[in-house]
């Protein structure tokens, strides 16, 4: 053990994982049911383009959507990182996995930001 303990950034990533866990558990199932099953299978009618645009363009929706997307991505990054460590015994590839998980989450967040901002 080293004498000067390093401050770990693990709690920060864990907090994002936790917040993303809550948000995804609450929002994602209903979104999959609506966009993935109910609309394509014709159980309900798809929102028409104009109302969809108005809905997405409202500041509240933009903020909410950006928050949901960001938290979901960091939830995945953290959890998938440990799935690779434990499930596939890849702890020795730690730095590569850190870049692939948190890195791709960050890239996707940037894309989300641009898409939502330029809507």
Partner 1 sequence: MAPTSRNTSNRSGRLVQRVPIFWWIKKWNYTKFILRELSSVAVAAYAVVLIFLVHAVSGGPAEYQEFMELFQRPFWIGLNVVALAFVLLHSVTWFNLAPKAMVIRVGNWIVPPKFIVAANYAAWIVVSAAVAWILLEP
What lies within 8 Å, CB to CB, of 71 at 6+ separation is: 16, 19, 20, 23, 24
Inter-residue contact 67 to 26 (CB < 8 Å): no
Task: Output DSSP code: residue 118.
Answer: T
Q: 3-state DSSP call for residue 44?
A: coil
* Residue of 11, 12, 15, 52 interacting with partner 1 (CB under 8 A): 52
Supply the minimum distance, in Å, between the C-beta of residue 96 and partner 1.
Answer: 17
Inter-residue contact 76 to 17 (CB < 8 Å): no
Question: Per-residue x/- marks for partner 1, 55-74, CB under 8 A?
Answer: xx--------x--xx--xx-
Q: 3-state DSSP call for residue 88?
A: coil
* Residue of 12, 15, 37, 63 interacting with partner 1 (CB under 8 A): 37
Q: 3-state DSSP call for residue 91?
A: helix
* Residue of 2, 9, 89, 95 interacting with partner 1 (CB under 8 A): 89
Q: Which residues would be at the binding site for partner 1 (CB under 8 A)?
A: 18, 20-22, 24-37, 39-41, 44-47, 49, 52-53, 55-56, 65, 68-69, 72-73, 75-77, 79-80, 82-83, 86-89, 105, 108, 111-112, 115-116, 118-119
């Amino acid at each position: 053990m080293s004498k000067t303990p390093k401050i770990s950034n693990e709690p920060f990533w864990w907090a994002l994982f936790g917040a993303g866990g809550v948000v995804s558990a609450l929002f994602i199932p209903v979104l999959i049911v609506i966009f993935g099953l109910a609309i394509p299978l014709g159980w309900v009618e798809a929102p028409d383009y104009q109302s969809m645009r108005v809905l997405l363009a409202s500041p509240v929706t933009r903020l909410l959507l950006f928050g949901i997307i960001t938290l979901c991505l960091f939830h995945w990054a953290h959890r998938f990182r440990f799935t690779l460590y434990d499930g596939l015994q890849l702890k020795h590839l730690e730095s590569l996995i850190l870049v692939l998980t948190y890195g791709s989450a960050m890239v996707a967040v940037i894309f989300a930001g641009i898409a939502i901002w330029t809507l």
